[in-house]
Every structure is written in structure tokens, then in C-alpha cells.
């Protein structure tokens, strides 16, 4: 089959990890006889520099027309400490989420046995962790009215949600739970917030349609604690935009690295896939950033296109790289060499095309050289 993929490398380490993700896709194309046609587009700080606009119209056009969107990272420190900057790179991502109505952000969190020692938590707490966060992405405080008073002494951001906005992601979360361990945990602050009370009422109603799925409720503060104390209790977490943003960065630490977490942002017409780690500007261009999250974003993209066997092959290659320790320095174990961003990408691509340990040159691998005989 032939697919058009919009590729937005973005800022910081975005371009170098996206290059590795494309290598994985190219290997899938070769092994399974597909064609992926890449259409490159700009968003973020690089787009501001090129055209003054963090989301040029051309980018939206390319994304709308594509079968899926692969995105690297966004942000540049030069905008971070300048609250009066007129345009900010992140506005590009918000506008893209809104224009394509990418309302459902899915963030899987899974502990890899070989990386548990990287976790700040005890082995017995982490082992077996496997849950997925469904974060609403186009509503709440991110998109409500914002204002700074004329005297600049008061500011507000309004959070609002409609029943429709809550319902559509709730159905997706429950459908996912049906395929998993049949439990949804709604995270809110309904003891304080009106929007949270609307979430609780709406989700409780919808839950009645999914009789084989258990619904639990947690206040967000309590959830932050439970995620650290007992992450294994979660299966599908459902939450609003801001809580999802915070909870998912917290959750990323459980498994020992943010460098392995990918996410998808799904709408009814389009879907975008990205690593969740962000632009990591200190590492940009240095060829040591971990490309595995971007590569796992490719696996999510393939599943979205219905290419499940292909997605499994990508996930197997990632697991193999972790088992063999062909990883960047952020997740290497003491005794191992660390591989560069592009070396990890080469290994993953080689493994997808060969998928057979017997072709591997283990001596070379452990010398940090390449992989397939």
C-alpha cells in the first residue's frame, strides 16, 4: 500500500529523532512492501524564524491531506523566558491540535524489564506497570479565554468543557479498556471544579454502555500520589487537558526514562504521532538523544493505519535494542557502551528488515559498531 506521511521535524532534537523514525518506516516499507511518501512541513521556532508564523498555512494543508502526521518536538529556550514574546513556538502545536480537532491524546506507559533499574522507584513497585493515559487535548484551560488586566496586576485563564467534548474521548477510552484490562480511572478535581463535576456526570452515564469495564474515580492530587506508590493499579486513565499534561510527565518518570514514551493525538479525520520528550535543546544536533520514543511513535502510527504486523515488528526491534543494550546513554546500564542516536536508528532499521538474531554480529554490537553481518 501507499501512504502519505506529513513529517514535521520541528525544533531541538526533533529533526534527529525524526530521521531515525523515518529509517524505521523505510525499513517497514522494504520488509512489507509499502510505500511511505514523506511530505515535510514546518512548525514551531523553526517556522517562526522562516516565516514569522509558528504554524504556516502550508503545514496545515499538508497535514490535512496526509494519511498520518509524524512530529518531532517543539520549543526553544529563547522564547521561554520572554513572557512578552508576541508569538511562541508552542502556539503552532495548539493551533494544529485545534484546526485538525485532534481531541484524543493517547500516552502509553509501560515498564521494560531491562530498564527497571533506571527507575527511581523500587523494582517491585515498577515491574509490570502497563497503563495508558487518555488526555483530552482541545478543551479546558488551554483553550479558554485568557486575559491580563490593563494594569497588568491580574490575569485569568478560563477552563470550559462541553458534554460533547467529554463524551467523544470517553468512548475511545472505554473502547481501549475493553481491549485491555477493562478498567478506566477518571482523574478529576470534582470536589472543587465545576468542569470536573461535568466530567464525572458524563463519564458515569457513558460507563453504563460498557458493562464489562469498571470505572473508578480519583482526585488529581491523590492520583499523583498513587502513580508513584502503586502504578500497576492503572489500566486506562481518562482525564482533561491540564491534568493529563501534568500526570503524564509524572508518569513518564516511573519507568526510568521519558526517552521511551510516545503519544498519538487522534481526531476523526487526522492523527498525529510524536515522542513526548520535547525539544531538549541542550542535546540538539549532538547525536546522543534517545530516538526510541520517536520510533515507538512510528509503531503507534502503523497501528492507526491498520498495519498491526508492521507495528509489532517495530516494537520488537525496540525491545531488542533495549535487551541488547544498543541504546543511547540516557538508558544504558553500567557495563554497556552507549550508542549514538543514528546508530540506534540503524540497528532498529536493520532488525526490522532482518528480524532474525542469527544474522547479528554480537562482537560488533558490543564494540559499538554495526549490527548485521
**Any idea how long the chain is?**
373
Which of 11, 16, 76, 90 binds ligand IPM (CB under 6 A)? It is 90
- The single-letter DSSP state of residue 5 is E
Q: Which long-range contacts (CB under 8 A, 24 or more apart) does 329-335 make?
A: 329/288, 330/257, 330/259, 330/290, 331/115, 331/118, 331/256, 331/257, 331/259, 331/260, 331/290, 333/114, 333/117
The residue written with cell numbers 500516552 in the block is 107
**67/245 with CB nearer ligand IPM:** 245
Q: Is 67 a catalytic residue?
A: no
Which of 17, 69, 74, 220 binds ligand IPM (CB under 6 A)? It is 74
SS3 155: strand
The CB-of-247 to ligand IPM minimum distance in angstroms stands at 10
**21/133 with CB nearer Mg ion:** 133
Edge to edge, what strands does the sheet with 35-40 contain?
35-40, 2-10, 68-73, 271-275, 262-266, 104-110, 130-136, 236-239, 183-188, 214-219
When CB distances to Mg ion are compared, the closest residue is 245
Cell of 188: 478529576
When CB distances to ligand IPM are compared, the closest residue is 90
Cell of 22: 523515518
Distance CA 97, CA 14 (A): 18
The CB-of-88 to ligand IPM minimum distance in angstroms stands at 9
Which of 53, 130, 245, 319 binds Mg ion (CB under 5 A)? It is 245
Q: Are 15 and 52 in contact (CB under 8 A)?
A: no
Which of 19, 58, 99, 245 binds ligand IPM (CB under 6 A)? It is 245
Cell of 225: 500520589
Asked if residue 136 binds ligand IPM (CB under 6 A), the reply is no
From the list ligand IPM, Mg ion, none, partner contacted by residue 346 (C-beta under 5 to 8 A by kind): none
**53/245 with CB nearer Mg ion:** 245
The CB-of-291 to ligand IPM minimum distance in angstroms stands at 18
From the list Mg ion, ligand IPM, none, partner contacted by residue 74 (C-beta under 5 to 8 A by kind): ligand IPM
The residue from 53, 67, 130, 249 that is catalytic is 249
Q: Is 249 a catalytic residue?
A: yes
**104/349 with CB nearer ligand IPM:** 104
**90/350 with CB nearer ligand IPM:** 90
**248/290 with CB nearer ligand IPM:** 248
The CB-of-361 to Mg ion minimum distance in angstroms stands at 40
Size of the site for ligand IPM (CB under 6 A): 4
Q: Which of 115, 121, 122 is nearest to 333 (CA)?
A: 115
SS3 35: strand
Q: Is 245 a catalytic residue?
A: yes
Q: Is 161 a catalytic residue?
A: no
Cell of 130: 502497563
Residues labelled catalytic: 142, 189, 221, 245, 249
Residues that bind Mg ion (CB under 5 A): 245
Amino acid at each position: 500500500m501507499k501512504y502519505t506521511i506529513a513529517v514535521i521535524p520541528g525544533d531541538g532534537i526533533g529533526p534527529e529523532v525524526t530521521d531515525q523514525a523515518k529509517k524505521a518506516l523505510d525499513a517497514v516499507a522494504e520488509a512489507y512492501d509499502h510505500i511511505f511518501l514523506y511530505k515535510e512541513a514546518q512548525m514551531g521556532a523553526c517556522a517562526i524564524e522562516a516565516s514569522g508564523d509558528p504554524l504556516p498555512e502550508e503545514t496545515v494543508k499538508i497535514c490535512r491531506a496526509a494519511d498520518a502526521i509524524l512530529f518531532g518536538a517543539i520549543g526553544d529556550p529563547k522564547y521561554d523566558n520572554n513572557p512578552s514574546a508576541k508569538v511562541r513556538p508552542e502556539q503552532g502545536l495548539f493551533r494544529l491540535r485545534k484546526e485538525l480537532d485532534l481531541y484524543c491524546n493517547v500516552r502509553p506507559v509501560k515498564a521494560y524489564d531491562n530498564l527497571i533499574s533506571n527507575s527511581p522507584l523500587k523494582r517491585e513497585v515498577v515491574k509490570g506497570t502497563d497503563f495508558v493515559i487518555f488526555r483530552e487535548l482541545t478543551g479546558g484551560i488551554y483553550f479558554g479565554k485568557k486575559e491580563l488586566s490593563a494594569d497588568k496586576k491580574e490575569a485569568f485563564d478560563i477552563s470550559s468543557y462541553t458534554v460533547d467534548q467529554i463524551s467523544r474521548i470517553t468512548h475511545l477510552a472505554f473502547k481501549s479498556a475493553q481491549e485491555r484490562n477493562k478498567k478506566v480511572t477518571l482523574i478529576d478535581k470534582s470536589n472543587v471544579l465545576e468542569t470536573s463535576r461535568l466530567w464525572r456526570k458524563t463519564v458515569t452515564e457513558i460507563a453504563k454502555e460498557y458493562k464489562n469495564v469498571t470505572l473508578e474515580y480519583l482526585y488529581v492530587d491523590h492520583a499523583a500520589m498513587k502513580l508513584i506508590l502503586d502504578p500497576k493499579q492503572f489500566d486506562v486513565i481518562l482525564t482533561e487537558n491540564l491534568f493529563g499534561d501534568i500526570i503524564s510527565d509524572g508518569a513518564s518518570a516511573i519507568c526510568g526514562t521519558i526517552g521511551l514514551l510516545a503519544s498519538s493525538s487522534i481526531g476523526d479525520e487526522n492523527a498525529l504521532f510524536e515522542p513526548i520528550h520535547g525539544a531538549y535543546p541542550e542535546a540538539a544536533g549532538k547525536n546522543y538523544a534517545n530516538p526510541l520514543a520517536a520510533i515507538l511513535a512510528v509503531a503507534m502510527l502503523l497501528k492507526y493505519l491498520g498495519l498491526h504486523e508492521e507495528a509489532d515488528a517495530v516494537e520488537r526491534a525496540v525491545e531488542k535494542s533495549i535487551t541488547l543494550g544498543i541504546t543511547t546513554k540516557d538508558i544504558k546500564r553500567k557495563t554497556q557502551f552507549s550508542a549514538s542516536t543514528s546508530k540506534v536508528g540503524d540497528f532498529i532499521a536493520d532488525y526490522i528488515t532482518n528480524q532474525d538474531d542469527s544474522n547479528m554480529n554480537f562482537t560488533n554490537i558490543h564494540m559499538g559498531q554495526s549490527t548485521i553481518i
